[in-house]
């Protein structure tokens, strides 16, 4: 059972294939990137018929391995012009895996670009149906409609109006365990690719799914136990630990304290409104208002449970979830210190189908250009409503920070490879700047989360303000992350498995138990490096070179208060990240 | 007298220098490109304080050499991200040359980006003054105001509201002999660079100018006579010849007939409205309505005189001038067949300070995206008024065709290196496609005008639809053009000097007479190639590689009616243009 579903949107046909032998151990990012590299011409127009959109659950997804419900999505990015892998945690990934599906490949493009379809997948077949009834609808209504049509046990993948409009900040939305349209493979405009294919939604029905066959159950169970143990024993990931109790937004206060929380479109590192927009403040509001929850999980089997459901003042549900990156993007980055405004901005992104990071960064650049004032949450909400309406201003913001900067002729545009930076200012945490610069994905914290060492001291603390060891740190993390993104495990298990060796062994054992393989720690590095090499080769053929592996000029010129540092890792050091591995 | 005026907009100081010995024979494009390559960091932000804007009249400008009133402007382009040279014909170039000024270098940037200044230059000095009185004014009013202040014998260089807004389609405006704000170094967003420097205008007062010193008058006069003779004897350039009688728009009917006039955003090659928007129709309207003129010259001493002044139906002056490229950009490209609408669109560009080619191409892309309908001249006029007002939609269009395509998620965006293609479809005239692809400037017909051979049969006719010989043709033309752009001579003398050998000798004799040099035809090739090599090296350091030397995908995929050809010169052939010269 290694099903590959290949959907041709030009002639509206669906074919089932078996995964080729040489890809048999690939999954998640490893598989989506391989298929993109093999089948997509690197120079093609990202919104043209030659681009392909690929979905793949991780290696161990669909099993009871903890925190393993990630799905990977790949394509050529309309935002960066390079290869893009973005992933999300969702029960839908588990359903796809249990149906024996290793990859869904969407290719071609309908002649008529106003037509939209939905793809329905079950244990026997996959078929394309008209999506007329959901065209133009937000993701909230879309999910409601699809559930009323297909029942509540389906998995839903969809794009909102932003994807229909093929906006470069459009993400791909997955349902959470309660069927909220809230889990996003947000980055790089993959929603625009899905929109350009005329595909509005995918419905996954796992009735009578065969499930995932485990080759060596004993080994798998042993590994699973070790990993659960490690996660339950690490301070960051354990139940009742900081991520579980306060969600990822617990990092707001930490980063502001450190002086590297990007504030006011990356002009300072400490936010006066940090406390008011922190994970602690979110937990307090949830407690006081009722109707929400902390410790929410994005998929069954997660034991970290860092997500939340945020309530309105009256206790009704407002949005799930206020993550650190989303909180920062509209909060500190836009100097908005009102959590209810931030919640509404996130809700709008979820509903319209937008990446919160890219959209928040674009709003920050628009504020820098005086389109609306910094700190004005209500006007920011109006700006997002413009995206939904598809007005020219809305389309500018929905095209991301780089285009917004170009249209409004701004100097300070916090992007790498045209993708906006997330919530760590590289002048204040230099290792993450190496990742932003050199990841084939563009600025992306998840591609090599140097913060783990520089701020949280995982595997030993490195001074965030110095340059030493940062190239090596980022390189190692990028390589191991490329592997982790292929497993289906959540990135957050990394805290536990980097600090607790048995946890890492557990990961290997679950994989080896499942596939009957004997992957070692060395193989992990090799697999990770192979993935990145392939991605970088795609980018090279698409026209990227070392000049694309750089932070924007202002980060080398303008000092970041309070530490008044610039980003001073040299170009030649940045080039060492991948040169040594050629 | 080799004055270099260096203006620092950061501290508002002006310094006078002597041109360095090694640059002594450089002028025009040769000098602006050299200074940009030497002084501008290739990776700098084009709108930041590290970019520099350089003006330089040509080698023989300021003398009585015919058609030699061109001025070159150089900088890093905010449109392409590479080096940019754009030039124009204007009496101001002659005034600058006669003041003994070889280059004006504008560097730095004021802290306060709402402040604007004007630079006044005369025989003794140069000074910065406030430009408060013209901020926000169109170029028409700007010129009127400056003339009322400084008299009618000044030269004026300015940017309009588009430059103030730092829009990527903003050009730099020069006055014509009657002080109209109508002669543009339009391409590549150099107006945005001037705007970013806070420089709104340059006023050139040539009172008591020393003039240009000629080393060997006899040789110079001999060369001048030969060149005049050649121009007067070539069918295309002679008085009463096609360019003189009908202006450059005479080419509309020719290209439509050939089937390579880009119509409806490059979707077909023949225009039903060709006749109505042709040079012949312009001449007829001028004759019938009165109040305009054909055979207008952009600077004193021009004997080709291909410009015109177009009247309104009531005989009042509407605009100067309706050139082929502008006529096409808003006419055939937007399927607008009303000359009065086209005239108004050009007038608006001249007044707002926009490149007509880039703006027309952006409007065409917006029409493709259904922002306004194809063929609707009145709505196109409204769209340009949006640019003047700086609305979001206006800013999108004013940012050029590439950004417009990105914001409106379009597949068919006719640009190379993000600069829009001019009025020849490379599927129908393949040599010009080689120039579009491989010029360091982005898509630019003037960089190597293959049309001369492919359509007009200058130096012998080549079939426009075949690929043979086109790499060599474009290469030779690009090299000789880089030299010609340095002389101050108008590109149109090329018709005469390519077909009539004595004309070319005349060019060399004017230069050698002026400088006391002994440049040969071989030197011309060497100088031209050196300029291009340097420009390409700047681009390489800025991040460009061979992938940037390509036409957009749709030109290789979609056939162009009526000949139903695609662009089929291979990538490896395109790479031969410069590889052989390494």
Q: What share of chain B is helix, strand, coil (3-state, %, to 5)?
A: 45, 15, 40
Structure tokens at A238: 């354990």
**Could you read off the pLDDT of B522-541 as tens digits, one per residue?**
999 999 999 999 999 999 99
| Residue A582 confidence (pLDDT) | 43
B308 close contact with A: CB closer than 8 A: no
B393 close contact with A: CB closer than 8 A: yes
| Residue B144 confidence (pLDDT) | 98
Beta carbons of B278 and B255 less than 8 angstroms apart: no
Give dist(CA B298, CA B94) in Å, integer.
Answer: 12
Residues B490/B491/B492/B493 CA torsion (nearest 10 deg): 70
**In b/e form, how buried is each residue of B505-523, taking b as 16+ CB within 10 angstroms?**
bbbbbbbbbbbebebeeeb
Helix (H) or strand (E) holding B311: strand B307-311
**In b/e form, how buried is each residue of B409-428, taking b as 16+ CB within 10 angstroms?**
bbbbbbbbbbbbbbbbbbbb
Cβ contact (<8 Å) for A407 and B396? yes
Mutant choice from B407, B548, B554, B575 vs A, greatest count of A C-beta within 10 A: B407
Give dist(CA B353, CA B116) in Å, integer.
Answer: 16
Mutant choice from A111, A383, A407, A540 vs B, greatest count of B C-beta within 10 A: A407
Q: At what angle do helices B501-515 and B521-542 cross, to 10 degrees?
A: 80
Which among A396, A545, A553 has the least Cβ separation from residue B545? A545
Name every chain B residue with its beta carbon within 8 A of the beta carbon of A409. 47, 78, 165-168, 192, 196
Residue among B230, B304, B297 nearest B94 (CA):
B297
Question: Does pTM surpass 0.90?
Answer: yes
Mutant choice from A190, A406, A554, A571 vs B, greatest count of B C-beta within 10 A: A406
For chain A positions 77-106, those within 8 Å of chain B (CB to CB) are 78
Give dist(CA A217, CA A224) in Å, integer.
Answer: 10
Mutant choice from B82, B393, B406 vs A, greatest count of A C-beta within 10 A: B406
**For chain B, how many residues are written?**
582
Which among A166, A392, A409 has the least Cβ separation from residue B167? A409
Across chain A, which has 582 residues, the per-10-residue mean pLDDT values are: 95 97 95 98 98 98 98 98 98 98 98 96 97 97 98 98 98 98 98 98 98 97 98 96 96 98 98 98 98 97 97 98 98 98 98 98 98 98 98 98 98 98 98 98 98 94 95 97 98 96 98 97 96 98 97 98 97 91 45
Name every chain A residue with its beta carbon within 8 A of the beta carbon of B370. none
Over its length of 582 residues, how does chain B's per-residue pLDDT go in tens digits?
799 999 999 999 999 999 999 999 999 999 999 999 999 999 999 999 999 999 999 999 999 999 999 999 999 999 999 999 999 999 999 999 999 999 999 999 999 999 999 999 999 999 999 999 999 999 999 999 999 999 999 999 999 999 999 999 999 999 999 999 999 999 999 999 999 999 999 999 999 999 999 999 999 999 999 999 999 999 999 999 999 999 999 999 999 999 999 999 999 999 999 999 999 999 999 999 999 999 999 999 999 999 999 999 999 999 999 999 999 999 999 999 999 999 999 999 999 999 999 999 999 999 999 999 999 999 999 999 999 999 999 999 999 999 999 999 999 999 999 999 999 999 999 999 999 999 999 999 999 999 999 999 998 889 999 999 999 999 999 999 999 999 999 999 999 999 999 999 999 999 999 999 999 999 999 999 999 999 999 999 999 999 999 999 999 999 999 999 999 999 999 999 998 544
Residue among B98, B300, B80, B290 nearest B189 (CA):
B80
Name every chain B residue with its beta carbon within 8 A of the beta carbon of A551. none
Which among B78, B165, B553 has the least Cβ separation from residue A48? B553
Give dist(CA B14, CA A582) in Å, integer.
Answer: 50
Which backbone phi and psi does A38 adopt, to 5 degrees? -80, -35
Strand partners, A416: A419
| Residue B580 confidence (pLDDT) | 54
| Residue B582 confidence (pLDDT) | 43
Structure tokens at A225: 């136990």
Give dist(CA B380, CA B373) in Å, integer.
Answer: 9
Distance from CA of A38 to the nearest CA of B (A): 19
Give dist(CA A355, CA A73) in Å, integer.
Answer: 14
Give dist(CA B219, CA A243) in Å, integer.
Answer: 84
Q: What is the ipTM for the molecules in this complex?
A: 0.97
Which backbone phi and psi does B406 adopt, to 5 degrees? -65, -45
A2 close contact with B: CB closer than 8 A: no
Structure tokens at A233: 């024993």
With vertex at residue A316, the alpha carbon angle to CA A310 and CA A322, rounded to the nearest 5 degrees, is: 15
Residue among A222, A110, B164, A232 nearest B173 (CA):
B164
Give dist(CA A335, CA A331) in Å, integer.
Answer: 6
Residues contacting residue B485 through CB under 8 Å, at least 6 positions apart: B28, B29, B30, B58, B70, B72, B85, B87, B491
For chain B positions 319-378, those within 8 Å of chain A (CB to CB) are 371
What's the farthest any 2 CA atoms get from each other in chain B?
A: 61
- The distance in angstroms from the start CA to the end CA of chain B is 36
Give dist(CA A200, CA B341) in Å, integer.
Answer: 41
**Could you read off the pLDDT of B82-123 as tens digits, one per residue?**
999 999 999 999 999 999 999 999 999 999 999 999 999 999
Residues contacting residue A500 through CB under 8 Å, at least 6 positions apart: A229, A230, A233, A234
Strand partners, A18: A3
| Residue B581 confidence (pLDDT) | 47
Name every chain A residue with its beta carbon within 8 A of the beta carbon of B550. 43
Q: How many CB pairs under 8 A join A and B?
A: 86
Tell the burial category of A556 from Cβ atoms under 10 Å away from its Cβ (0-12, 13-18, 19+).
Answer: middle
Q: What is the DSSP letter of B20?
A: P
Cβ contact (<8 Å) for A391 and B391? no
Beta carbons of B48 and A413 less than 8 angstroms apart: no
**Could you read off the pLDDT of A489-508 as tens digits, one per residue?**
999 999 999 999 999 999 99
Give dist(CA A236, CA B331) in Å, integer.
Answer: 64
Nearest CA in chain A to B109: A411
Which among A167, A396, A411 has the least Cβ separation from residue B392? A396
Residue among B331, B329, B567, B350 nearest B464 (CA):
B567
- Residue B266's SS3 state is coil
Beta carbons of A99 and A89 less than 8 angstroms apart: no
Give dist(CA A245, CA B191) in Å, integer.
Answer: 54
Name every chain B residue with its beta carbon within 8 A of the beta carbon of A47. 409, 411
Mutant choice from B409, B544, B549, B553 vs A, greatest count of A C-beta within 10 A: B409
| Residue A580 confidence (pLDDT) | 54
A409 close contact with B: CB closer than 8 A: yes
């Amino acid at each position: 059972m290694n099903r590959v579903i290949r959907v041709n949107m030009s002639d509206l046909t669906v074919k089932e294939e078996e995964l080729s032998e040489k890809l048999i151990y690939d999954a998640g990012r490893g598989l989506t990137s391989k298929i993109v590299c093999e089948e997509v011409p690197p120079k093609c127009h990202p919104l043209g018929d030659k681009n392909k959109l690929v979905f793949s659950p991780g290696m161990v997804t669909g099993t009871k391995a903890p925190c393993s419900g990630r799905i990977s999505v790949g394509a050529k990015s309309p935002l960066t012009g390079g290869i893009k892998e973005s992933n999300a945690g969702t029960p839908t990934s588990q359903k796809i895996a249990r149906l024996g599906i290793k990859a869904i490949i969407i290719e071609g493009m309908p002649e008529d670009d106003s037509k939209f379809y939905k793809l329905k997948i079950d244990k026997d077949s996959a078929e394309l149906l008209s999506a007329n009834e959901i065209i133009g609808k937000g993701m909230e209504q879309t999910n409601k409609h699809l559930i009323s049509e297909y029942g509540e046990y389906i998995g839903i993948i969809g794009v909102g109006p932003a994807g229909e409009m093929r906006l470069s900040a459009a993400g791909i939305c997955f349902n959470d365990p309660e069927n909220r349209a809230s889990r996003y493979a947000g980055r790089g405009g993959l929603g625009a690719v899905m929109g350009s294919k005329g595909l509005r939604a995918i419905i996954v029905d796992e009735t009578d799914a065969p499930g995932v066959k485990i080759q060596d159950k004993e080994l798998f169970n042993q590994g699973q136990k070790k990993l659960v143990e490690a996660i339950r024993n690490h301070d960051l990931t354990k139940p009742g630990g900081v991520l579980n109790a306060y969600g990822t937004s617990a990092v707001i206060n930490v980063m502001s304290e450190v002086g590297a929380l990007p504030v006011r479109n990356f002009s300072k590192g400490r936010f006066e409104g940090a406390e008011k927009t922190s994970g602690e403040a979110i937990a307090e509001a949830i407690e006081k208002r009722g109707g929400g929850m902390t410790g929410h999980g994005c998929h069954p089997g997660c034991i970290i449970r860092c997500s939340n459901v945020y309530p309105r003042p009256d206790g009704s549900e407002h949005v799930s979830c206020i993550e650190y990156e989303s909180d920062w993007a509209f909060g500190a980055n836009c100097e908005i210190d009102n959590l209810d405004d931030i919640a509404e901005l996130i809700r709008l992104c979820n509903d319209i189908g937008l990446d919160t990071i890219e959209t928040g960064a674009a709003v920050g650049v628009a504020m820098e250009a005086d389109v609306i004032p910094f700190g004005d949450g209500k006007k920011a909400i109006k700006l997002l409503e413009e995206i939904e309406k598809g007005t020219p201003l809305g389309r500018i913001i929905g095209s991301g920070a780089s285009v917004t900067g170009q249209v409004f002729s701004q100097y300070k545009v916090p992007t790498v490879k045209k993708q906006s930076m997330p919530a760590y200012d590289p002048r204040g945490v230099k290792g993450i700047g190496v990742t932003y610069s050199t990841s084939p994905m563009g600025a992306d914290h998840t591609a090599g989360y140097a913060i783990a060492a520089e701020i949280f001291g995982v595997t030993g603390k490195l001074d965030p303000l110095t340059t030493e060891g940062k190239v090596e740190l980022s390189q190692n993390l990028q390589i191991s992350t490329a592997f982790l993104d292929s497993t289906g495990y959540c990135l957050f298990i990394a805290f536990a498995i980097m600090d607790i060796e048995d946890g890492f062994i557990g990961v290997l054992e679950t994989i080896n138990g499942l596939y009957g393989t004997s992957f070692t720690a060395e193989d992990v590095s090799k697999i990770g490096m192979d993935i990145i090499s392939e991605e970088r080769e795609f980018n090279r053929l698409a026209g990227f070179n070392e000049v694309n592996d750089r932070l924007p000029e202002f980060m080398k010129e303008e000092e970041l208060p309070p530490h008044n540092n610039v980003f001073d890792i040299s170009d030649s050091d940045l080039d060492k990240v991948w040169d040594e591995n050629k």
